[in-house]
């Protein structure tokens, strides 16, 4: 739920369509809707109303631009295959530093540790890196919510 809240709070209108499609396309939701046709009918009836409500929530809850930029960078990194991710890692670390991300120090430690253990980090490194980054973003979002 915290990740969903973070997604909904970032001021990027295109994310709304992606969120709705992702939720409706997830295997668990598809199975649930197949088992309960009345629920599917009700959801499809309300789906057009979801976007305006989500847009209103976005307008009411602004996220600091640095956090929004970091989250966008995180999303881009998630979509990259391992080779691209590793090639872009120095630039990602630089961007994290420029955003004064709380994750930057940990990201550097992870990169240095992985470089010491192997000549070149592998896909397990990418998974660990993105997992830790997601935790950092979630914590930042929780702090933001507490401040609100």
Q: Cα(62)–Cα(105) distance, rounded to whole angstroms? A: 26
- pLDDT of 65 over the 70 cut: yes
Q: Cα(84)–Cα(51) distance, rounded to whole angstroms? A: 33
Q: What is the pLDDT of residues 10-60, one digit of tens each?
A: 544 555 666 666 776 778 888 888 888 888 888 778 777 776 776 666 556
Nearest Cα to Cα of residue 140 among 61, 68, 60: 68
pLDDT value, residue 41: 83
More confident residue, 94 or 118: 94
More confident residue, 118 or 77: 77
pTM: 0.58
More confident residue, 4 or 95: 95
Residue 11: enclosing H or E segment and its boundaries?
Answer: none
| DSSP label of 26 | S
- pLDDT of 1 over the 90 cut: no
């Amino acid at each position: 739920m915290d990740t969903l809240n973070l997604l909904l709070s970032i001021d990027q209108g295109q994310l709304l369509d992606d969120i709705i499609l992702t939720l409706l396309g997830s295997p668990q939701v598809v199975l649930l809707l197949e088992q309960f046709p009345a629920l599917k009918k009700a959801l499809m009836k309300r789906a057009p109303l979801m976007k305006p409500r989500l847009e209103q929530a976005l307008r009411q809850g602004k996220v600091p631009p640095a956090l929004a930029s970091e989250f966008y960078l995180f999303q881009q990194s998630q979509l990259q295959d391992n080779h691209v991710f590793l090639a872009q890692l120095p630039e990602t670390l630089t961007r994290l530093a420029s955003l004064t991300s709380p994750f930057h120090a940990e990201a550097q430690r992870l990169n240095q540790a992985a470089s010491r253990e192997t000549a070149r980090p592998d896909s397990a490194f990418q998974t660990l890196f993105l997992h830790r980054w997601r935790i950092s973003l979630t914590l930042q979002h929780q702090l933001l919510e507490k401040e609100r």
